[in-house]
Amino acid sequence: MGLMRYAWRNLWRNKRRTGITLAAVTLNTAILIMAYALMDGMIKHSVQNATNVVLGEAQIHAEGYREDHSFYKSLPDPEIILKKATEHRIGAAPRSYGYGLVSVGAKSAGALFWGIDPAVERAVFDLADNIQFGRFLSDKPEQGIVLGKKLARSLHASIGDEIIVVVQAADGSLGNELYTIFGILKTVGDNIDRGAAILHQDDFRELFVSKGRIHEVALNTRGEMPIMELAALMATAAEGTQVKTWRELMPLLSDMVNIFDSVMLIFYAIFVLAAGLGVMNTMLMATYDRMREFGILKAIGTSPWRIIGNMAVEAFVLAVTAAAFGLVIGLAGGYYFQEVGIDTRIFAAGDFSFSGVAFDPIWRAVLGVKVVAIPVVVMCVICTIASLYPAVLAARINPVRAIHHV
Amino acid sequence: MKQGTVRFGPVFLNLDFRTLKGIKSAACFCVCLLSFLCFGSMVLAQTAGLAPKEILDRVDDLMRGDSSHGKMTMTITTAHWTRSLRIEAWSKGKDKSLMRILAPKKEKGTATLRSGNNIWNFLPKVKRIIKLPSSMMASSWMGSHFTNDDLVKESRMADDYDFKATFEGVKSGREVLEITCIPKEEAVVVWGKVVLTVGKDNYLPLKIEYYDEDLELARTMTFEDVGLLGGRTLPRRFITVPADKPQESTVITYEEMAFNLELDDKLFSIRSLQR
């Protein structure tokens, strides 16, 4: 502890010099925290954008369903899965799928019917917010349908039109029904745009004589739970099911996020390097400044190791102090960016999308333990290392030359 | 205010109706459905030793005619259900046909009109007519192992295929003749190969095997119960089995048939569809 006190006293012998170094480290730590938080925010939010609409962070299907989408390969015990998800406060939306034909006026097209629970979809996902015209389905069945954008366009359909649907029901019979078009979705994804016809699950059950078959449970915690943990937890929910995370469901998106992650890491490395070099420069200057002092220390018989030790401790104490300040400023800034964000529209107008993921024009940071801890540790290490080089020089110096060093 | 949306959908739900029932899109020469629509005039060949081309033409003509009217039962068996449809059907010329379902109750009155390459369905429950989009041509007709495509394709074997007799002799205790047909370069057919087996005594088809482009067997039609139908001697039961699901089948059994009647063109109109 005496070493620390000694270092602390030593540091404040030259207030200006130490102040400059302190400011440099503080500022760099704060910048690193904010930059890291912003980068993490961009990745996290782009993933959330991708998963929150309909995909979910993970999905559960019956074994083999994903291979051929057979109507008969439905989940064996959907209730158990939904119950378990609810117990763990995981948002879980049950969905049924079936193919068929839709027709408006003289136009007709093939469609994939979705049987959903509108109340649950509204609570867990954002599909209901992505309505371009009309409205989403109500919580109670009312013979309404919501169509994908391109499908609606190809049918020349508009809100309020009656739509005829014809399907092959589960018992082999011909299911057919009239519905009213309640809503048309925004662009949300090519498959949905081109072919989704969304029904209330009760209407779906009647149309397909599906006896309540559920083909998919989409899980979403909106980032509350790490996806691996989520997948592991739900994998044991019911027999004969398979859980796939969004990374497995959408490998393209996953790859994109990985690439994005790497790009961000490179950026971050450059940031750290720049900050590190700045700090190192300040530390070096501060040490060269003290060459005479070292000369005198050596002249009165201080061992080289002791000089290196003292220098390293001084640098470390300085760095920790600065990092603490930087942490406060970084947290404040990061919090601001998390709550308010940066409006990217001041740089570029219009929607900004990348590989199919549209980014929110408001760029928000996400603060996390990792985001805060890594910059702090990195700065402390860099400062200590930066002080070692001049310290070694100082330790090996000829006292006479050092004393004359100006 | 959420502005960001994702241009992503569940990719794994690929909307490809060709996979609907696992049925290979059929550009067959209408042996299948047209068979019970357009029974042709079939003069039994008593002459021996017909050339393959003549045999093909005969088999083709067996299914074609000026007009026909009849009733049949279609029994469909899949892994998940079995059902029988009673159907009344009319046909005129090569490209006009009308089918109306008589039973079961749920489908009663459902009708399909084919005129040229277009197919319309009348749905009595909602009292609406819908025209079938071209994207649905490859999907199954009424859940059977026939596609809508089978309803409208009309090629003649002898025109679209190069053929030669590949076997002559006894199979399963019958004198048979086997003709293998390979599609011509320019022919618009989906099969990679069609193998036709006819009885040597009457030149009536016993079996037709359809192979896909990879020359894998896609489906087999067998013809049974030769007897009198509309004053002609014909097979009265057609059985279609998809090769990838041997336990599934569609069986068409003819109850009554009449050929070469005077049928008004008005019968094959959208108006008559709704009756």
From chain A, the residues in CB contact with B6 under 8 A are 49-50, 52-53, 55, 188-189, 356-358
pLDDT for A312 equals: 84
Question: Which residue did the predictor score with more confidence, B23 or B248?
Answer: B248
Question: Is the CB of residue B248 less than 8 Å from the CB of residue B222?
Answer: no
Q: What phi, psi does A138 have (nearest 5°)?
A: -80, 170
CB atoms A191 and B81 under 8 Å: no
**Which residues 6+ apart lie within 8 Å of B106 measured at CB?**
A173, A174
From chain B, the residues in CB contact with A187 under 8 A are 5, 7
Computed over its alpha carbons, how large is the radius of gyration of chain A? 31
Q: Does B9 touch chain A (CB under 8 A)?
A: yes
| Nearest residue in chain A measured CA to CA from B19 | A68
3-state secondary structure of A390: helix
The answer, yes or no, to whether the previous bond of A94 is cis (omega within 30 of 0) is no
Q: Does B147 touch chain A (CB under 8 A)?
A: no
Q: Is the dihedral of CA A178, A142, A109, B76 positive or negative?
A: negative
CB atoms A195 and B15 under 8 Å: yes
Distance in angstroms (rounded) separating the CA atoms of residues A215 and A206: 16
pLDDT-derived band at A172, boundaries 50, 70, 90: confident
pLDDT for A98 equals: 94
Question: Is the CB of residue A406 less than 8 Å from the CB of residue A293?
Answer: no
Q: State chain A's maximal CA–CA distance in angstroms.
A: 103
End-to-end CA distance of chain A: 33
pLDDT for B108 equals: 92
User: Distance between alpha carbon A42 and the CA centroid of its chain, in Å?
Assistant: 7
A interface test, pick of B8, B121, B127, B131 with most A CB neighbours within 10 Å: B8
Q: What phi, psi does A98 have (nearest 5°)?
A: -160, 150
| Nearest residue in chain A measured CA to CA from B80 | A171
CB atoms B132 and A108 under 8 Å: yes
From chain A, the residues in CB contact with B9 under 8 A are 54, 188-193, 196
The distance of B142 to chain A (nearest Cα, Å) reads 7
Among partner residues A129, A189, A359, which is closest to B8 by beta-carbon distance?
Answer: A189
Task: Give B178-232 pLDDT, tens digit per residue.
Answer: 999 999 888 877 789 999 999 988 889 999 999 998 999 999 999 999 988 888 8
Q: Is the dihedral of CA A312, A314, A315, A316 positive or negative?
A: positive
From chain A, the residues in CB contact with B123 under 8 A are 164, 166, 174, 176
Q: What phi, psi does A7 have (nearest 5°)?
A: -60, -45
Of A376, A370, A367, which is closest to residue A41 (Cα–Cα)?
Answer: A367
User: Per this entry, what is the length of chain B?
Assistant: 275
CB atoms B123 and A173 under 8 Å: no
From chain B, the residues in CB contact with A129 under 8 A are 2
Task: Give A64-108 pLDDT, tens digit per residue.
Answer: 998 888 899 999 989 999 999 999 999 999 999 999 999 998 888
Question: Is the CB of residue A110 less than 8 Å from the CB of residue A168?
Answer: no
Task: Give A331-345 pLDDT, tens digit per residue.
Answer: 999 999 988 888 777
Q: Does B118 touch chain A (CB under 8 A)?
A: no
**Which residues 6+ apart lie within 8 Å of A146 measured at CB?**
A131, A134, A136, A137, A181, A182, A183, A184, A185, A197, A198
From chain A, the residues in CB contact with B128 under 8 A are 103, 164, 178
pLDDT for B12 equals: 31
User: Distance between alpha carbon B182 and the CA centroid of its chain, in Å?
Assistant: 19
Q: Specify which of A276-280, A287-291, B214-218, B232-236 reaches the highest per-range mean pLDDT.
A: B214-218
Least confident of A153-162, A242-251, A356-365, B122-131: A356-365
CB atoms B130 and A109 under 8 Å: no
Task: Count residue pairs from A and B with Cβ separation < 8 A.
Answer: 150
CB atoms A99 and B20 under 8 Å: yes
Of A335, A323, A328, which is closest to residue A275 (Cα–Cα)?
Answer: A323
3-state secondary structure of A51: helix
Among partner residues B10, B78, B125, which is closest to A172 by beta-carbon distance?
Answer: B78
DSSP state of B140: B
pLDDT for A359 equals: 59
Q: Does B105 touch chain A (CB under 8 A)?
A: no
The distance of B20 to chain A (nearest Cα, Å) reads 8
Question: Token pair of B237, please?
Answer: 């039961």
CB atoms A99 and B83 under 8 Å: no
Question: Which residue did the predictor score with more confidence, A358 or B61?
Answer: B61
pLDDT for A317 equals: 87
Task: Give B108-164 pLDDT, tens digit per residue.
Answer: 999 999 888 888 999 999 998 988 887 777 778 888 888 877 766 666 778 888 888
From chain A, the residues in CB contact with B19 under 8 A are 68-69
**Which residues 6+ apart lie within 8 Å of B138 measured at CB?**
B17, B18, B20, B23, B25, B147, B148, B149
Strand (E) or helix (H) holding A35: helix A15-50
The distance of A272 to chain B (nearest Cα, Å) reads 30
From chain A, the residues in CB contact with B8 under 8 A are 50, 53, 55, 188-190, 250, 253, 356-357
CB atoms B4 and A358 under 8 Å: yes
pLDDT for B224 equals: 92
